[in-house]
Amino acid sequence: MIIKFEDVGKKFGSNSVALADVSLEIGGGEFVFVVGPSGAGKSTLLRLLAREYPATSGRILIDDLDLGKIESKNIPKFRRKIGFVFQDFKLLDDRTVFENVALALEVREFKEEEIEKEVERILKLFEIWDKRNLFPSQLSGGEAQRTAIARAIIGKPDLLLADEPTGDLDPQTSWAVLQLLNEINSWGTTVIMATHNVEIVNTLKRRVISIRGGKVTRDRKEGRYELH
């Protein structure tokens, strides 16, 4: 999966510029950190990729598919190729761990037997099978984030978007989550992670795209957390 941003701009209303003239290319199987201060445009970049809204100017291409030209009825099908992980996990409070993860396959209209088999496999892989009947409020931060990641990747997406996935976690749990994302990346899934976590970015030495004021200020192959 190759992702291309060509002079992409995003405005909210007439004055609020979230992204301006962003051009970049991300190859299949890459692990990319997107760093920048709050309000820099990191989340906007990820949301544009998930086609939550279209770009105001420029083009975003995923394997030559122009996201601006996808018809509304085809957006759900497109999103099934993408996994999304959030800082606040976005788990459904009234569903168990099992049901939360199963939801990703339910929306893809999998058969019930397949759902049960796949969810069991992924929960065991993520070592949360024993928590399957617990509700999100009964989980630790790390368990909740592992559940959210399990939900994001159970549909075998080509691209995983992680928006500050360690933002609400302690350092030890953050590392555990990052190890998981690293492993998912080793399976060939492209991972794009927006983060503030300096230590993680500097330790992992992966590609780092720095954004500030809606513009890409730096793009380094084995980068560090640098904003200027």
Partner 1 sequence: MSFIKVTKRNLRRTPYQALVASMAMFSTFLVLSIFLILAAGSSVVLKYYESKPQAIAFFKDNTSLGDVDAIKKALEQTGKVTSLKYISQDDALQIYKDRNKANPTLLEMVTAKILPASLEISAANPEDLKPIAGILKLEPVVDDVVYPEDVVERLSKAASIIRGVGSGAVGYLLIFASLIIIMVIGFKMRLRRQEIEIMKLLGASSWFIRLPFLLEGVFYGVVGAISAWVASYVLLWYFTPFLQSELLSEINILPVSPIFMLLLLAAEVVISALIGLFASFVAVRRYLKV
* Chain contacts with partner 1 (rule: CB under 8 A): 50, 52, 73, 76-80, 82, 84, 90, 92, 94, 102-104, 106-109, 112, 115, 151, 155
Closest contact distance (angstroms) between CB of 76 and partner 1 is 5
Neighbours of 166 (CB within 10 A): 26
Element (H, E) at 158: none
β-sheet bridge partners, residue 57: 9
- List residues bridging with 26 in a β-sheet: 3
Mode of pairing for the β-strands spanning 16-26 and 3-12: antiparallel
Min CB(158)–partner 1 separation in Å: 13
Nearer to partner 1, 82 or 216 (CB): 82
Q: How many CB atoms lie within 10 A of CB 113?
A: 8
Question: What are the backbone dihedrals phi and psi of residue 131, each rounded to the nearest 5 degrees, phi first?
Answer: -100, 10
The answer to whether residues 42 and 163 touch, using CB atoms and an 8 Å cutoff, is yes
Give min distance, CB of 171 to partner 1, in A. Answer: 28
Cβ at position 196, least distance to partner 1 in Å: 22
